[in-house]
Structure 1
Amino acid sequence: MSRNSFAVIDEEKFKVFHWQTIVTTGLGVFCDGYDLSSIGIVLPLVLGTFGIAKIGGFESAMLAASALVGAAVGALLFGLLGQNGRKRFYGLDVLLMGVMAIAQAFAPDLTWLIVLRFILGIGIGADYVLSPTIMAEHANRANRGRVIGIGFGVMWPLGALFAGLLNLLLAGLGVSHDLQWRIVLAAGAVPAFTVLYLRRRMPETARYLARLAADPQAASEVIRRISGQSIAAPLQDTRSFGEVFSKHARMIFSAALLWLVFDIVIYSGILFGPSLIAKSLGLGPIEFSLLMSILFGLPAVLFYALVGLDGFGRKPVQVWGFVAAAIMLVVFAVLKQYVAAIPLLGMIVFGLYTVAINGPAAVSGAGILGVELSPTRIRTVGQSITVVGGRIGASISAFLFPLFFTRLGEVGVISLLAGVALLGAILTQILVPETAGVSLETLNDDNLPVTAAAE
C-alpha cells in the first residue's frame, strides 16, 4: 500500500469513526427530509389558516416551491464557500435550518411563511453540498457507498417519515389545525440543534487540508486520527479552478442530468399512488404514503445502502431501478381500472414501484455521483451543480406535470414518466463510469505529489 497518498484512508476498515461520520452528517440530512416533506403534509392546514380555499393555486405553488428555490441558491452559494473549507461552514447549514424552522411557527401571514421557507431552503441546499462531500472525503474506498447511502439515502426518507408521523399524532390528539401545522414545521429545529455540536467537533477532511488549504501537516493529523498511522500528505493542488473544471465538466453535468431525471420520475408516485390506491383502501394520501414507506421504501433503501451500492455497484442499482420503475408504471397504465378497484393489487404494484425507484434514490437522489465524479479541487462546486440539477427536476415535476396531467390524462402522464425512467436507465449506462470500490483520486485522475513522510 502506498504511504504517500490517501490510500491509508481508502484502505482503512469500516470503524467507529465512519459511524460517527454517518450520524453527524445524517442527522442534518434527516432535517432536510423532514423540512422539505413537512410542508406538503400540512399544506391544507396552512392554507386554511390564511383563508385560502384552493390547494392547487398560485399561493400553494409558491409555498411548496420556496424551499426548493432556496435550496438551489444555497447549493450554489455553499458550493463556492466550501472551496474555503468544509468544516468552516459545517453547522451553519443546520443552524440556519433550526432558526428558520422555529420562525415558521410565528409566521403572521403566507408571505412571511414563503420568505422563511426560502431562507430555510438555503440551509437545506448547503447541507446537500457539504454533507455528501464530507461523507465521501472521510469514507474508506470499499464502504463509501454505504456511508453516503445510509447518511443521505436512508436518513432523508426517515426524516420525511417522522414528519408524517408527528402530524398524525397531533391530529389524533385533537390539536387545532392552526397550532398543528405550526408545531410540525417548528419541530424540524429539534434534530437541527441536536447535531450542531457534533458538526463543530467533526475534523476537517484530510483531502481538503492537503489539496486546497496547503496544510499537509494538519492533513496528516486527520489521517492519523482516522487510521492511527503517520503518513506523507499530498501537496496542494496548484491547478487553476478553470483548468480542473473544464476537464471534469462533462461528468459533473452528467451527474446533474441524472439527478434531474430521477426527481422527475419520483413525482409519479404522487400521481398514481395516493390519488387512486389510497382511496380504494380507505386511507388518506398521507397515511398511505407513510404505510408504503414503512413496508417498502425504507427496507428497500436500507438494502441498497448496506448491500447494493458497494456490492452490486452504483450503475446496476440505478439502471435496473429505473427499468423496474418503468415496468411498474406501464403495468399501472395497462391495469389502471383493476389497480383502482382491487386494493391488494394496487398495493403490490405501488410497493414494487417503491422498491424499484429507491434504487436511483440511493444513487443520484443521494448525491453520490456528484461528489465521486468531482476532484477535490472543485468537489463542492461540482456537487452544487448536481444539486441544482435535482432542484430543476423537482420544479419541473411540481409545475409542469399538473399541466401535462390535464392535457394527457392520468394514463398518458404515467406512460410519459415510464419513458423518462427508461431514459434515465440509458443515460446512466452511457454517461457515467462505475464508481464503486474505486478511490476518489483514481476516479478523477487526481495527481498527488507528496511532502516528506510525516514523523
Structure 2
Amino acid sequence: MSKGSREVMGSRWQFMFGLGEVFSIVVITVMYMTGMDHAVLWRVALAIGAIPAFILLLARLDLPETPLSLIQRGKFTKAKEVSLRLFDEPLDMLPNEDVVIERPKVGDFLRVTWADRTRRRATIFGWISNACQGAEFTAFGFYLPVILVSAGVGVVGGGAAANITGTNFVTAGIYVLATISGLVAPIMITKIGHRGVSMWGFGLAFVGLLIGAAALGANIQWLIVLGACVLMWGHYWAASNGMTVVSMVAPARFRATASGFGYVFVKAASFFGAFVFPLMTASWGKVGATVAVSVLSLIGLLSAKFILPELYGYVDREGALEASELKA
C-alpha cells in the first residue's frame, strides 16, 4: 500500500478488537439470560472462539508473503512468482533459484534501530505506549464489569441474574462507544498525525481514570459510566498505533522482529494489570488503585509529547532504496 495508507490500515485493528468485545459480551449475556448452566456456559463461550480462529486459518492458507520479504529470506523463486501474480512484475534480475541468507538477529535489530534517531525515538515511544496501554486496559478495562457490579451500576432490582445482565449491557454499551473510537482513530491519524492521536488518546484515558476514581469515591453511578466512556474512547486511540509505529520505522528485514518485540511490552504490561491491580485494589481501595493506573496514562501522554517524532507518511530510507533498486 502507499505511504500513509499502510499506517492507517495498520491502526484499524482496535476497531475490530472492539467489535469482538461487543460480540462476546452480547452472546454470553444472551446465553446467561436463557438460564444455561454456568458450568456449560463458560465452556461454550470459550469454544465459540474457535470459530473465527478457524476462519482466519483458512484465509491465511493462501495469503502470500510480500516479494520483498521473500527476497530478504533468499526465497527468490517464490518471490518472482508472487511478484508476477500481484504486480505483473517478473523480477528478471533475480536468479531462478533460492539462496541461504542468514536470518536477522535481535542484536542486529537493536543496533540498526539505535543508530538512527527517528527509529530510536519512535521505537522507544512504541515500547512505552504498548506497555502503558496494555496495563491501562488490563487493570481497569479488564476489571470494569467487576467495578460496575460492586458500584451497583446496571442494577435493576430484579435479583442477581437481572443485575448481572444489566451490568453486562452497560459494559456492552461502553464498548460500542470504544468501537466507534477505534473506527475514528485511523481517520484522525491523517489529520493530526500519530503524535496527535497518541496525545489525545492517553490524555483522555488519564482524564477518564481520574473521573472514575472521583466517581467511585463519591459512589456516583452515572459519573462512573461517564468516566469509563471517556477512558475507553481515549484508550482505543492510544492503543491504535503503538504496534504500527514500531513496525513502520523498522527496515523491512527487521519488521517482524520489531513487531514481535514490541508486542512483548503489551503482554508484560497485561500481566501487571491482571495480577497486580487486584492487589492494589485490596491494599489501596478502588479509588487509590484507579488513580495509580492513571499515572500510566500520564506517562503515555508525556512520552507522545516529548519522545515520539511525527511519523505520518514516514518512509524508511533503507526500504525506499531497496524498492528503487528492485525497480531498476
TM-score, normalized by the shorter chain, greater than 0.5: yes
Q: Which residue of 1 aligns with 2:117?
A: none
CA-based RMSD of the aligned residues comes to: 3.1
- The answer on 1:260 being equivalent to 2:140 is no
Q: Which residue of 1 aligns with 2:160?
A: none
- The answer on 1:351 being equivalent to 2:224 is no
The CA distance in 1 between the partners of 2:232 and 2:92, in whole Å, is 46
The CA distance in 1 between the partners of 2:308 and 2:275, in whole Å, is 29
Q: Contact 1:206/1:222 (CA < 8 Å) preserved in 2?
A: yes
Larger CA deviation: 203-212 vs 242-251 = 242-251
Q: Which residue of 2 aligns with 1:148?
A: 10
Question: Aligned letter for 1:146?
Answer: V
Q: Which residue of 2 aligns with 1:379?
A: 255
Q: Which residue of 2 aligns with 1:58?
A: none
Which of these residues, 251, 256, 280, is aligned with residue 153 of structure 2? 280
Q: Which residue of 2 aligns with 1:209?
A: 70
TM score, norm. by length of structure 2: 0.80
Which of these residues, 295, 304, 315, is aligned with residue 185 of structure 2? 304
Q: Contact 1:317/1:360 (CA < 8 Å) preserved in 2?
A: yes
Shift of 1:410: 2.1
Q: Which residue of 2 aligns with 1:248?
A: 113
Q: Contact 1:158/1:298 (CA < 8 Å) preserved in 2?
A: yes
The CA distance in 1 between the partners of 2:258 and 2:53, in whole Å, is 25
Shift of 1:359: 0.7
Q: Contact 1:245/1:378 (CA < 8 Å) preserved in 2?
A: no
Question: Aligned letter for 2:72?
Answer: R
Q: Per the alignment, do residues 387 and 184 of structure 1 end up closer, same or farther by CA in structure 2, a change over 3 Å counting?
A: same
Q: Per the alignment, do residues 162 and 374 of structure 1 end up closer, same or farther by CA in structure 2, a change over 3 Å counting?
A: same
Q: Which residue of 2 aligns with 1:184?
A: 45
Q: Per the alignment, do residues 368 and 405 of structure 1 end up closer, same or farther by CA in structure 2, a change over 3 Å counting?
A: same
- Indicate the percent of aligned positions where both proteins have the same amino acid: 20
Shift of 1:392: 0.6
The CA distance in 1 between the partners of 2:235 and 2:145, in whole Å, is 13
Alignment of 1:292-441 (within 5 A): 292-294=174-176, 296-305=177-186, 307-338=187-218, 340-343=219-222, 345-364=223-242, 367-439=243-315, 441=316
Question: Aligned letter for 1:247?
Answer: V
Shift of 1:292: 0.9
Larger CA deviation: 418-427 vs 309-318 = 309-318
Q: Contact 1:220/1:233 (CA < 8 Å) preserved in 2?
A: no
Q: Contact 2:213/2:287 (CA < 8 Å) preserved in 1?
A: yes
Q: Which residue of 1 aligns with 2:158?
A: none
The CA distance in 1 between the partners of 2:292 and 2:33, in whole Å, is 39
The CA distance in 1 between the partners of 2:94 and 2:201, in whole Å, is 38
Question: Aligned letter for 1:312?
Answer: I
Matched position secondary structure for 1:202 = coil
Q: Per the alignment, do residues 304 and 447 of structure 1 end up closer, same or farther by CA in structure 2, a change over 3 Å counting?
A: same
Q: Which residue of 1 aligns with 2:159?
A: none
Deviations 1:223-249 (Å, cap 9, x if unpaired)? 554455677889999896444431215
Alignment of 1:113-124 (within 5 A): none
The CA distance in 1 between the partners of 2:124 and 2:68, in whole Å, is 23
Q: Contact 1:232/1:452 (CA < 8 Å) preserved in 2?
A: no
Q: Which residue of 2 aligns with 1:164?
A: 25
The CA distance in 1 between the partners of 2:72 and 2:8, in whole Å, is 25
Shift of 1:220: 5.6
Question: Aligned letter for 1:288?
Answer: V
Question: Aligned letter for 2:58?
Answer: Y
Larger CA deviation: 307-316 vs 179-188 = 307-316
Q: Contact 1:321/1:356 (CA < 8 Å) preserved in 2?
A: yes
Question: Aligned letter for 2:235?
Answer: I
Question: Aligned letter for 2:30?
Answer: L
Q: Which residue of 2 aligns with 1:450?
A: 325
Q: Per the alignment, do residues 229 and 179 of structure 1 end up closer, same or farther by CA in structure 2, a change over 3 Å counting?
A: same
Q: Which residue of 2 aligns with 1:53?
A: none
Question: Aligned letter for 1:334?
Answer: A
Deviations 1:381-405 (Å, cap 9, x if unpaired)? 2211111111110011111122222
Q: Per the alignment, do residues 234 and 429 of structure 1 end up closer, same or farther by CA in structure 2, a change over 3 Å counting?
A: farther
Q: Per the alignment, do residues 148 and 265 of structure 1 end up closer, same or farther by CA in structure 2, a change over 3 Å counting?
A: same
Matched position secondary structure for 2:11 = helix
The CA distance in 2 between the partners of 1:164 and 1:209, in whole Å, is 40
Question: Aligned letter for 1:140?
Answer: S
Deviations 1:111-161 (Å, cap 9, x if unpaired)? xxxxxxxxxxxxxxxxxxxxxxxxxxxx332211332223x2222222232
Q: Contact 1:375/1:446 (CA < 8 Å) preserved in 2?
A: no
The count of aligned residue pairs is: 305
The CA distance in 2 between the partners of 1:334 and 1:233, in whole Å, is 66
The CA distance in 2 between the partners of 1:422 and 1:428, in whole Å, is 10
